[in-house]
Amino acid sequence: MMPAVALGTWLGNSSTGRIAPVGYETEQAVLWALEAGYRHVDTAWSYHVEDQVGRPVKTVVDAYNLLHEITTTPKLWNDAHARSAVVPALRASLAQLQLSYVDLYLMHWPLGQFENGSYDSTHYLETWRGMMDAQALNLTRSIGVSNFNKVMLESIRAHQLTKPAVLQIEWNINLQQPGLLAYCRQHNISVMGYTPFGALMDKRRADSPTRIDDPQLTKMAAKYGKNVQQILLRYAVEMGVIPIPKSITSTRIFENIEIFDFQLDESEKWTLRNFDRGYRTIPQLKWSDHPFYPFEKMPEYTTTTTTAAASTSTVNTEKSTQQVISEVDVNDKSARMNFRDIKI
């Protein structure tokens, strides 16, 4: 069991790299989130804000005895992929977070990279064994992965290692990955979705196939008295994805959790499914030549009116949304309602 929405604490990237905190904006954001009712905070060593996450969590836990009600999810960075490095890395994060254990610890990426920029060729299965070591030491209750593809998940299963409790991936209406979601549902792996708004609001991304002012989206928002962001978050929840909206603005933080007082109808979900373009907002092409790069090695985006065809590479074996939809009798209401349960 885990909270259905999490606060993201990644501050984003700029033209010069990852944005670092300049003050206590993340600490204040976490306090606002806890006040608004969030009970899940997603963070990572590489965000350089674990201390700002830990202080407000500790304050609220101590004041209201909420130790077992707030989930904190840090992530292992790529420079600690040796099996022997995993536990020390988690201990360092725990020190920053002022916690003796966390509920969930994720491997941030399946690929390793040393601090000097050179690649670490440690196999992700060896790193995963280090994650299992951390769980055995009760430093984390559950372990999971981030940015893994289906082949990598299958590799963990084939080697009879501990099943990941969670897969965290980019998920939004332009990148819905139905095959991967279906696989996770089949194997009882919870899915967390980062970048739940994709590039819909990023004016710098001229290649984004959808914008926040899309008439179909604004019409839905008006119907429910919500904004488009709330529609997108609600859709994620209804598709079985735990969205991770990030914000350091109080109004946005409070709005992003106000999504449990309405429900999308089937025609609206059908409309939202058709926005899938296989468009990846964060492809991390700088790592595309790493042997464990998890994404398709092909042109990433399409802005045509039809859904991009799925990659035929061994890295990405899932079907596109349009292909899955074509296998469903669109006149069969029960089939449409069970769309997310389709096994591929």
pLDDT tens-digit series, residues 96-127:
999 999 999 999 999 999 999 999 999 999 99
Distance, CA of 199 to CA of 210 (rounded, Å)? 8
Chain centroid to CA 74: how far? 12
Domain count for the chain: 1
Q: What are phi and psi of 87, to 5 degrees?
A: -60, -45
Does 330 score more than 60 pLDDT?
A: no
pLDDT digits (tens, 9 = 90+) for 72-100: 999 999 999 999 999 999 999 999 999 99
Answer yes or no: is 2 within a domain: no
Does 299 score more than 70 pLDDT?
A: no
Taking the alpha carbons of 243, 247, 252, 254 in that order, is the dihedral positive or negative? positive
| Active site (annotated) includes residue 101 | no
CB 88 within 8 A of CB 105: no
Beta-bridge partner residues of 146: 168
Does 323 score more than 90 pLDDT?
A: no
Mean pLDDT of all residues belonging to the chain: 86
CB 185 within 8 A of CB 239: no
The H or E element that residue 185 is part of is: helix 178-186
- C-alpha distance from residue 65 to each of 23, 29, 42, 68, 97 (Å): 28, 20, 20, 8, 17
Answer yes or no: is 210 within a domain: yes
Answer yes or no: is 154 within a domain: yes
Beta-bridge partner residues of 41: 7, 72
**Beta strands 40-42 and 71-73, pairing class:** parallel
Residue 191, SS3? strand
Answer yes or no: is 139 within a domain: yes
Kindly state the average pLDDT of the residues 160-182: 98
Distance, CA of 295 to CA of 284 (rounded, Å)? 9
Answer yes or no: is 199 within a domain: yes
CA angle 301, 306, 309 (to 5 degrees): 60
CB 189 within 8 A of CB 145: no
| CATH for 51 | 3.20.20.100
pLDDT of residue 186: 97
pLDDT of residue 83: 98
Answer yes or no: is 257 within a domain: yes
Kindly state the average pLDDT of the residues 145-169: 98
pLDDT digits (tens, 9 = 90+) for 237-273: 999 999 999 999 999 999 999 999 999 999 999 999 9
Q: Which domain holds residue 307?
A: 7-341
Answer yes or no: is 110 within a domain: yes
pLDDT digits (tens, 9 = 90+) for 5-64: 999 998 865 555 566 667 789 999 999 999 999 999 999 999 999 999 999 999 998 888
Residue 222, SS3? helix
Query: Which position among 47, 124, 279, 293 bears the catalytic label?
Result: 47
Q: What are phi and psi of 111, to 5 degrees?
A: -110, 145
Beta-bridge partner residues of 120: 112
pLDDT of residue 63: 87
Burial status of residue 76 (CB atoms within 10 A of its CB: 0-12, 13-18, 19 or more): buried
pLDDT of residue 187: 97
- Give 298's pLDDT tier (boundaries 50, 70, 90): low
Beta strands in the chain (DSSP E): 7-8, 13-14, 17-18, 40-42, 71-73, 75-76, 102-107, 112-113, 119-120, 140-146, 166-170, 190-194, 241-244
Question: Cα torsion for 226, 227, 228, 233, to the nearest 10°?
Answer: -70
For 46, the token pair is 């590489």
CB 134 within 8 A of CB 140: yes
pLDDT of residue 159: 98
What percent of the chain lies above the pLDDT cut of 70?
83
pLDDT digits (tens, 9 = 90+) for 132-152: 999 999 999 999 999 999 999
Does 328 score more than 70 pLDDT?
A: no
Answer yes or no: is 1 within a domain: no
